[in-house]
């Protein structure tokens, strides 16, 4: 593909509407416009009314045996309860439509089972849609996992050729890129050793090295980044950032809101097989968060508590935020915040654990604190209780936070909660007014940190 043009030729592309093309930074506009010209469409990807139906209730396994099929038709076959066994239709995707322009980097988010993986499988042609159609203009590569087709008995080098072929590189292209791939993997001394002798880290590095050298115009990536160590994840994100910056189109599924925020220019949020948001990244992340907890973040604490499903052993009776002894709805960051939790343990139990997690707006857990962190004993007897946690002044900065209360018994995984980022809990959105010391002398500067902690400083003439 020729990337020699330097002057943006967006205007030459067939009627790009001004709002969408503004989302594509000027630096990469030339490549995407070039691609648009070549295919005669401004869209890299167009999905129209895509639906996918699965059958439920036939059996736990999706496959059958011929024996079962024949046995079920025999006249003396005892009919089971027809209602319980009747197949039920389940639409994993229902009427999903969207368009992606050349050069856009789109994040696809949604909780597990929202349909995003099914959508990826349909767009990558692994599964067929039950309804609808999609059009993809350009050379596509799909990374639904790294190391597809890798075989333990083969050497690193042999696996490179196999994996590269599966990812769409011709043998000649692979030979040309072989040195670069081996170099990038950083495991050159072991490249002729069977992969079964590799550590999992080496395996991932090699697999990613191959994936990083494919050169499509449209990249479709599933949660590849969820595996591997932090260094590996950063390498992955860096490579995807390069890819996006070079004007290619990326469709990116992730549970990491931070990664989505850093990479994407647009977010599509899915829930129960539908698109519930398509557009702004920060708004999309908020919608995802709300869907995740089933609670509108504007609601009061009492309303949130009313949504918490009942639990036989435990109930939340009330949560109040206090500042200076007064109930607070908006938190002043310069004042201690007390969170008082009233709850009832309904039955005698092994020790209760109660804690609070603080999340930023992108689902990153910043702090996690339990009431027995210092080993001061835990509630074991039934009865009503009240636990209060004090979050000191100058903890929060001028940003939005989400507090999540969590409770569980030692012998039981978790109790009484709404779905949140990491398991069940009670999500409490927190709005702040900045009265704290953080950056107090420069009040108009941007808040880039996560917390508004202030440390003691001492400056003297040396």
- Residues engaged in binding another protein (CB under 8 A): 39, 50-51, 54, 62-67, 69, 121-140, 142, 144-145, 148-149, 151, 153-154, 158, 161-162, 165-171, 194
Tell me the closest approach of the beta carbon of residue 36 to another protein, in angstroms: 13
Determine the Cα angle at 230 with ends 227 and 232, to 5°. Answer: 65
User: How far is Cα 79 from Cα 95, in angstroms, rounded to an integer?
Assistant: 36
Tokens representing 26?
């000027």
User: How far is Cα 316 from Cα 322, in angstroms, rounded to an integer?
Assistant: 17
CA Rg value for the chain: 27
Nearest CB to another protein, comparing residues 44 and 240: 44
Q: Which long-range contacts (CB under 8 A, 24 or more apart) does 22-28 make?
A: 23/101, 23/104, 23/265, 23/266, 24/101, 24/103, 24/104, 24/265, 27/245, 27/247, 28/103, 28/245, 28/246, 28/247
Tell me the closest approach of the beta carbon of residue 29 to another protein, in angstroms: 22
Q: What's the N-to-C CA distance of the chain in angstroms?
A: 60
Nearest CB to another protein, comparing residues 139 and 261: 139
Tell me the closest approach of the beta carbon of residue 108 to another protein, in angstroms: 17
User: How far is Cα 299 from Cα 313, in angstroms, rounded to an integer?
Assistant: 26
Task: Supply φ then ψ for residue 286, to 5 degrees.
Answer: -65, -40
Would you say 120 and 250 are in contact if contact means Cβ atoms under 8 Å apart? no
Residue 143 is inside which H or E element, if any?
Answer: strand 140-143
Tell me the closest approach of the beta carbon of residue 345 to another protein, in angstroms: 45
Can you tell me whether residue 109 is helix, strand or coil? Answer: strand
Tell me the closest approach of the beta carbon of residue 221 to another protein, in angstroms: 12
Tell me the closest approach of the beta carbon of residue 65 to another protein, in angstroms: 4
Nearest CB to another protein, comparing residues 63 and 457: 63
Tell me the closest approach of the beta carbon of residue 391 to another protein, in angstroms: 45
Would you say 111 and 52 are in contact if contact means Cβ atoms under 8 Å apart? no
DSSP summary character for residue 194: B
- Residue 40: C-alpha distances to residues 15, 33, 43, 136, 263 (Å): 11, 10, 9, 12, 27
Q: Which residues contact 20 (CB under 8 A, 6 or more apart)?
A: 101
Residue 177 is inside which H or E element, if any?
Answer: helix 171-185
Tokens representing 270?
């899915």
Tell me the closest approach of the beta carbon of residue 73 to another protein, in angstroms: 14
Tell me the closest approach of the beta carbon of residue 223 to another protein, in angstroms: 13
User: How far is Cα 439 from Cα 168, in angstroms, rounded to an integer?
Assistant: 52
Tell me the closest approach of the beta carbon of residue 247 to another protein, in angstroms: 17
Nearest CB to another protein, comparing residues 168 and 419: 168
Nearest CB to another protein, comparing residues 25 and 87: 87
403: which strand partners?
358, 428
Nearest CB to another protein, comparing residues 219 and 257: 219
Nearest CB to another protein, comparing residues 222 and 357: 222
Tell me the closest approach of the beta carbon of residue 68 to another protein, in angstroms: 8
Nearest CB to another protein, comparing residues 191 and 366: 191
DSSP summary character for residue 225: G
Nearest CB to another protein, comparing residues 48 and 311: 48
Nearest CB to another protein, comparing residues 32 and 361: 32
Would you say 263 and 241 are in contact if contact means Cβ atoms under 8 Å apart? yes
Tell me the closest approach of the beta carbon of residue 213 to another protein, in angstroms: 15
Nearest CB to another protein, comparing residues 39 and 370: 39
Nearest CB to another protein, comparing residues 130 and 262: 130
User: How far is Cα 31 from Cα 138, in angstroms, rounded to an integer?
Assistant: 12
Residue 211 is inside which H or E element, if any?
Answer: helix 200-212
Which strands sit side by side in the sheet containing 423-430, from one edge to the other?
365-370, 352-359, 401-409, 423-430, 418-420
Tokens representing 396?
């929060």
Task: Supply φ then ψ for residue 122, to 5 degrees.
Answer: -75, -45
């Amino acid at each position: 593909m020729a990337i020699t043009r330097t002057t943006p030729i967006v205007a030459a592309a067939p009627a790009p509407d001004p709002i969408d093309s503004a989302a594509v930074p000027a630096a990469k506009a030339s490549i995407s416009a070039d691609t648009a010209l070549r295919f005669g469409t401004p869209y890299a990807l167009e999905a129209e009314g895509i639906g996918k139906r699965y059958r439920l209730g036939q059996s736990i396994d999706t496959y059958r045996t011929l024996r079962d099929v024949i046995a079920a038709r025999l006249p003396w076959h005892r009919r089971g309860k027809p209602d319980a066994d009747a197949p039920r239709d389940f639409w994993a995707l229902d009427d999903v439509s969207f368009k992606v322009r050349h050069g856009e980097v789109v994040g696809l988010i949604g909780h597990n089972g929202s349909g995003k993986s099914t959508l990826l499988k349909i767009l990558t042609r692994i599964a067929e849609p039950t309804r609808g159609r999609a059009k993809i203009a350009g050379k596509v590569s799909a990374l639904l996992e790294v190391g597809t087709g890798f075989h333990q008995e083969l050497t690193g080098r042999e696996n490179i050729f196999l994996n590269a072929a599966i990812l769409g590189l011709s043998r000649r292209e692979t030979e040309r890129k072989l040195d670069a791939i081996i170099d990038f993997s950083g495991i050159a001394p072991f490249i002729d050793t069977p992969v079964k002798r590799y550590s999992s880290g080496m395996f991932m590095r090699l697999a990613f090295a191959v994936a990083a050298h494919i050169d499509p115009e449209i990249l479709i990536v599933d949660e590849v980044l969820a595996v591997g160590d932090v260094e590996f994840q950063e390498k992955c994100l860096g490579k995807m950032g390069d890819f996006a910056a070079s004007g290619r189109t990326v469709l990116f599924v992730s549970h990491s809101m931070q990664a989505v925020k850093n990479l994407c220019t647009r977010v599509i949020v899915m829930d129960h097989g539908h698109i519930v948001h398509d557009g702004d990244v920060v708004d999309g992340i908020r919608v995802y968060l709300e869907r995740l907890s089933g609670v509108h973040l504007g609601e009061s604490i009492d309303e949130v508590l009313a949504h918490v499903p009942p639990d036989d052993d435990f109930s939340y009776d009330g949560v109040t935020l206090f500042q200076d002894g007064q109930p607070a709805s908006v938190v002043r960051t310069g004042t201690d915040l007390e969170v008082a939790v009233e709850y009832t343990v309904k039955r005698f139990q092994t020790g209760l654990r109660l804690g609070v997690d603080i999340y930023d707006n992108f689902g990153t857990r910043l702090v996690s604190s339990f009431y027995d962190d210092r080993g001061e004993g835990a509630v074991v007897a039934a009865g009503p209780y009240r636990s209060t946690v004090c979050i000191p002044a100058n903890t929060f900065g001028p940003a939005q936070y989400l507090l999540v209360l969590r409770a569980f018994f030692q012998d039981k995984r978790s109790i009484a909660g709404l779905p949140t980022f990491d398991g069940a809990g009670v999500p409490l959105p927190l709005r702040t007014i900045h009265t704290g010391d953080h950056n107090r002398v420069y009040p108009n500067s941007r808040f880039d940190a996560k917390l508004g902690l202030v440390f003691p400083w001492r400056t003297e003439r040396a």
